[in-house]
Amino acid sequence: MTTATPRGGCCCLWNHYILLLHNILLCGDSNKIELLRTLAFSITINCCHLCYSTEDNEKRKMITIIAGTNRQDSMTLRTARAYYKIISQQTTDVQILSLENKQVWERGNEMKELESKYLIPATKFLFIMPEYNASFPGVLKMMIDNSDIKKCWWYKKAALVGISDGRAGNLRGTEHMTAIMNYMKVNVLYNKILLSKIKEEINLECEIIKPDTQQLINIQVEELLKF
């Protein structure tokens, strides 16, 4: 007699155990005790597995939006908050990591707390990156370099948003970050949003001004959630 657990979810699991119990009751008295012990052991192991699976599924939901600059009162953070408003309408498992006043230039206690709260629990990231000298800010690169690469980044997913005051929307910065993410085994969503003349796209209340931009962002968010 075997107690192998079939695939197919919790209902199939308990139907399987009911059938096993029925078969045990039909056995001779000499076999019942040993078979019941085997059944109890199997139930214990699989219940533990279901609990851990539930915890893992909860962790897989988390999205961290990274506002990739430490400048105060930045359009980057306003853009991150605009995205947060949209994503939070579809899931509560979303948070914003602002690099304002964060000591990420060394792997100290603050950096470890940051990665424990924002990086390790997340399986998807949304980077909001302003254009700094044809790339993204150095503080964002320092945060990445001082994190535990394997725990924070390996085999996760990311979407990229480039913003700028000019016309390019930080195209080069998003390309640079794509290469870095791929090097760290992160899958990058193909749909990258480039927001030029950002002050004409996002207002001081973190609202998206143009309907066409709103539509593009909605599409990217939908794809990120399905990614």
CB 114 within 8 A of CB 142: no
Interatomic CA distance for residues 204 and 193, integer angstroms: 20
pLDDT of 167 reads 85
CATH topology of domain 61-226: Rossmann fold (3.40.50)
pLDDT at position 58 over 80? no
**Is the distance from CB of 44 to CB of 9 less than 8 angstroms?**
no
Q: How confident is the model at residue 224 (pLDDT cuts 50, 70, 90)?
A: very high
Q: What would the mean pLDDT of 187-206 be, rounded to a whole number?
A: 96
| 38 vs 117, residue with greater confidence | 117
Q: 17-31, 62-76, 184-198: which has the minimum mean pLDDT?
A: 17-31
**Predicted structure pTM score:** 0.74
Q: What is the largest CA-CA distance in the chain?
A: 83
CA separation for the pair 106, 36 (Å, rounded): 56
Residue pLDDT, tens place only, 96-117: 999 999 999 999 999 999 999 9
Kindly state the tokens that stand for 99. 């690099």
Cα angle: 170, vertex 173, 177; to 5 degrees: 140
17 token code pair: 């155990």
Q: Computed over its alpha carbons, how large is the radius of gyration of the chain?
A: 24
**Is 4's pLDDT higher than 50?**
no
Given a cut of 80, whether residue 19 has pLDDT beyond it is no
What confidence category does residue 168 fall into, taking pLDDT thresholds of 50, 70 and 90?
Answer: confident
182/119 Cα distance (integer angstroms): 17
Nearest residue to 1 via CA among 36, 29, 49, 46: 36
Distance of CA 83 to the CA centre of its chain: 14
**Separation CA 147–CA 112 (nearest Å):** 8
Residue 11 pLDDT greater than 60, yes or no: no
Mean pLDDT of 75-83: 97
Q: What is the pLDDT of residue 25?
A: 64
Pick the residue with more confidence: 189 or 18? 189
- Main-chain phi, psi angles of 24, to 5 degrees: -65, -40
Checking if the pLDDT of 174 tops 70, the result is yes
